[in-house]
């Protein structure tokens, strides 16, 4: 998709929901890290945590830019991971909503 495929209202909704998903993703990561840190008791557990955090950073950075070419996939992934809701993306065109719903099932 290109910017021309989006109305200004749709873009505003998509950007808003995208940002909400990013914020929730970070909150979830922080919560997970706090839990994992409470169980650190060996050098191996420290390196395992490091590997986990490195992987999560790579994944997060790959999803942190609003990209028209991938935004439907990104929103579908956020929906699948329950970081956004269908209610929050209701301002999008029905075809876009249907694609996001369908992609979130896989």
Share of the chain above pLDDT 90, in %: 86
Angstrom distance (rounded) from CA 82 to CA 66: 19
- Cα distances from 15 to residues 11, 20, 34, 79, 105, in angstroms, run 6, 9, 29, 14, 22
- State the sign of the Cα–Cα–Cα–Cα dihedral 84, 105, 77, 8: negative
The pLDDT score that the predictor gives to residue 24 is 96
The pLDDT score that the predictor gives to residue 102 is 97
- pTM for the predicted model, two decimal places: 0.87
Q: What is the mean pLDDT of residues 62-90?
A: 93
Spans of all domains in the chain: 3-103
Q: What is the mean pLDDT of residues 87-105?
A: 95
Q: What is the mean pLDDT of residues 33-58?
A: 96
The pLDDT score that the predictor gives to residue 3 is 83
């Amino acid at each position: 998709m290109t910017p021309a495929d989006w109305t200004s209202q749709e873009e505003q909704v998509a950007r808003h929901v995208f940002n909400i998903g990013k914020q929730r993703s970070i909150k979830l990561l922080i919560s997970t890290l706090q839990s994992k840190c409470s169980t650190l008791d060996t050098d191996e557990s420290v390196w395992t945590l490091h590997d986990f955090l490195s992987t999560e950073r790579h994944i997060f950075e790959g999803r942190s830019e609003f990209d028209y070419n991938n935004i439907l996939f990104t929103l579908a992934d956020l929906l699948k991971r329950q970081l956004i809701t269908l209610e929050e993306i209701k301002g999008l065109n029905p075809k876009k909503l249907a694609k996001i719903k369908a992609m979130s099932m896989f």
